[in-house]
């Protein structure tokens, strides 16, 4: 059946409460989106999946949550004030603005169709700024962070002195970042405000190349565990003219979004660039005293930098499927990994009477402690399954007359639509096992 398009995703997200346009009642704000009841659950779970992978499953990575606004010198030291720019052109006829590297400057304006109307490309700094306190002048400027990474670098010594980490070790952080993007399009792919999941891994100089390989392999394996189809992911190595100002080497993990292959995550070899610059600009010693041989050095850094909100778009795109079940009978199904599905278990009474609904409610309440549940007693059972398929609920439980007699229920699996009979007392354990052993078909 039909392939996934951005229009279909935007429509499903709006219809089912995943993502809404920001300030929609005022006509919307371009490049900003709000996460609805199901969207916030999905986003939080993708974040938690990453956090668990990085911190709980590694014994040498610790967490951090730094402030969004930082001392303005941070951004001078990091190079963002001087270098964090995109080339921009305006159409002199219709005033539309474009990234100069995203359009053909010899061709007609994509909005008004006029030729030869573009201004000369100008460098445009992507950082949003505001003023601290009542006086609006250059001395009161602060920036909204364009990456979370700098919060990690400036806290390197704090973490070292207050936790028992030794090199090699990492610091992980999830949080908002802001960029005044020249063009925002493709739904939540590129937005003004977004969330990043970043990890800086500090290593001994000379060991950076093997750790770079380690993190490339580890990050690809992570997407497999998240249930993302392997053939939708690939690496792209940055050429010399693509490398960011801080990077010695960089690979993007790209995903095949509905609009084509695009960057999902960056794995960057940042050398000692950032720690060295902070040492210089702040005048503080950022070196590490290695207890292994009593040498002092500035560690090298391997960074893994994934967009959380962009990962949500990946998860939505990868999960979407339209299936024709039989002549004229179709369903839209979202194949979310059960660990990130906004609703994990739906419970339905087959009928509302004869104590069936009471038993179903009781089962649903018993499962709440461990799973996100949803109770639904309205409409035909087939329609209730379809509604759950469309929001990606992996398990549906139906309570019927037999349930009252033998304390068993029907457990239905979203992907295969297979149904099995399970004793009520074994439901929790069965669902936990299914989540642990889930594989995308």
- Residue 53 or 265 having the CB closest to ligand GAP: 265
Provide the mask over 174-193, with x wherever binding to ligand GAP is found by CB under 6 A and - wherever it is not. -----x-x--------xx--
What is the pattern of x (binds ligand GAP, CB under 6 A) and - over residues 303-322?
Answer: x-xxx-xx------------
Of 244 and 422, nearer to ligand GAP (C-beta) is 244
Give the shortest CB-149-to-ligand GAP separation in angstroms: 4
Q: Please, which residue, 84 or 395, has the CB nearer to ligand GAP? A: 84
Per-residue HEC secondary structure of the chain comes to: CCCCCHHHHHHHHHHHCCEEECCHHHCCCCCCEEECHHHHHHHHHHHHHHHHHHHHCCCCEEECCCCCECCHHHHHHCCHHHHCEEEEEEECCCCCEEEHHHCCCCCCCCCCCCCCCECCCEEEECCCEEECCCCCCHHHEEEECCCCHHHHHHCHHHHHHHCCCCCCEEEEEEEEEECCCCCCCCCCCCCCEEEEEEEEEEECCCCHHHHHHHHHHHHHHHHHHCCCCHHHEEEEECCCCCCCCCCCEEEEEEEEECCEEEEEEEEEEEECHHHHHHHHHHCCCCCEEECCCCEEECCEEEEEEEEHHHHHHHHHHHHEEEEEEECCEEEEEECCCCCCCCCCEEEEECCCCCCHHHHHHHHHHHHCCCCCEEECCCCCHHHHHHHHHHCCCCEEEEECHHHHHHCEEEEEECCCCCEEEEEHHHHHHHHHHHHHCCCCC
Is 198 among the residues that bind ligand GAP (CB under 6 A)?
A: yes
**Minimum CB separation from ligand GAP for residue 348, in Å?**
37
Q: Closer CB to ligand GAP, residue 307 or residue 338?
A: 307
Q: Check residue 256 for interaction with ligand GAP (CB under 6 A).
A: no
**How many residues bind to ligand GAP according to rule CB under 6 A?**
19
Rule CB under 6 A: say whether 359 interacts with ligand GAP. no
Q: How far is the CB of 190 from ligand GAP (least distance, A)?
A: 4
Residue with Cβ nearer ligand GAP (263 or 415): 263
Least Å distance, CB 373 to ligand GAP, is 31
Q: From the list 53, 265, 272, 274, which residue makes contact with ligand GAP (rule: CB under 6 A)?
A: 265
Confirm or reject binding of residue 263 to ligand GAP (CB under 6 A): yes
Q: Which is nearer to ligand GAP, 8 or 176 (CB)?
A: 176
Which of 33, 194, 255, 348 is the binder for ligand GAP (CB under 6 A)?
194
Is 197 one of the binding residues for ligand GAP (CB under 6 A)? no
Of 143-172, which residues contact ligand GAP (CB under 6 A)? 147, 149
Instruction: State the residues that interact with ligand GAP by CB under 6 A.
Output: 147, 149, 179, 181, 190-191, 194, 196, 198, 263-266, 303, 305-307, 309-310
């Amino acid at each position: 059946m039909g392939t996934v398009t951005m229009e279909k995703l935007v429509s499903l997200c709006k219809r089912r409460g995943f993502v809404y346009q920001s300030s929609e009642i005022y006509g919307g704000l371009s490049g900003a989106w709000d996460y609805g009841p199901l969207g916030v659950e999905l986003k939080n779970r993708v974040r938690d999946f990453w956090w668990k992978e990085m911190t709980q499953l590694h014994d040498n990575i610790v967490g951090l949550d730094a402030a969004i606004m930082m001392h303005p010198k941070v951004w001078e030291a990091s190079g963002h004030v001087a270098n964090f720019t995109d080339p921009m052109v305006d159409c002199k006829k219709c005033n539309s603005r474009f990234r100069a590297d995203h359009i053909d400057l010899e061709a007609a304006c994509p909005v008004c169709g006029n030729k030869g109307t573009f201004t000369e490309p100008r460098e445009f700094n992507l950082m949003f700024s505001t003023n601290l306190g009542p006086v609006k002048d250059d001395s009161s400027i602060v920036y909204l962070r364009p990456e979370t990474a700098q919060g990690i670098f400036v806290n390197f010594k704090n973490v070292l002195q207050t936790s028992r980490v030794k090199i090699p070790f990492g610091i992980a952080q999830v949080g908002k970042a802001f960029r005044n993007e020249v063009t925002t399009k493709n739904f939540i792919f590129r937005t003004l405000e977004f969330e990043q999941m970043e990890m800086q891994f500090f290593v001994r100089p000379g060991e950076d190349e093997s750790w770079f390989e380690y993190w490339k392999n580890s990050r690809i394996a992570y997407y497999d565990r998240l249930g993302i189809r392997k053939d939708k992911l690939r690496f792209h190595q940055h050429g010399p003219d693509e490398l960011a100002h801080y990077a010695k080497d960089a690979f993007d993990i790209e995903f095949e979004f509905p609009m084509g292959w695009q960057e999902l995550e960056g794995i960057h070899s940042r050398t000692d660039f950032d720690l060295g610059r902070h040492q210089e600009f702040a005048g503080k010693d950022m070196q590490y005293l290695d207890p292994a041989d009593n040498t002092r050095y500035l560690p090298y850094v391997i960074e893994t930098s994934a967009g959380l909100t962009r990962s949500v778009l990946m998860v939505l795109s990868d999960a979407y499927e339209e299936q024709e079940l039989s002549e004229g009978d179709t369903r839209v199904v979202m194949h979310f990994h059960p660990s990130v599905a906004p609703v994990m278990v739906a419970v339905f009474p087959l009928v509302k009477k004869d104590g069936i609904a009471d038993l179903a409610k009781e089962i649903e309440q018993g499962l709440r402690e461990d799973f996100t549940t949803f109770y639904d007693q309205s409409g035909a059972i087939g329609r209730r399954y379809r509604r759950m398929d469309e929001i990606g609920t992996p398990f549906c439980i139906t309570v019927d007359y037999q349930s009252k007699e033998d304390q068993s229920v029907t457990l239905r699996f979203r992907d295969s639509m297979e149904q099995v009979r399970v004793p009520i007392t074994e439901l929790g354990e069965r669902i936990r096992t299914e989540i642990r052993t889930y594989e995308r078909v």
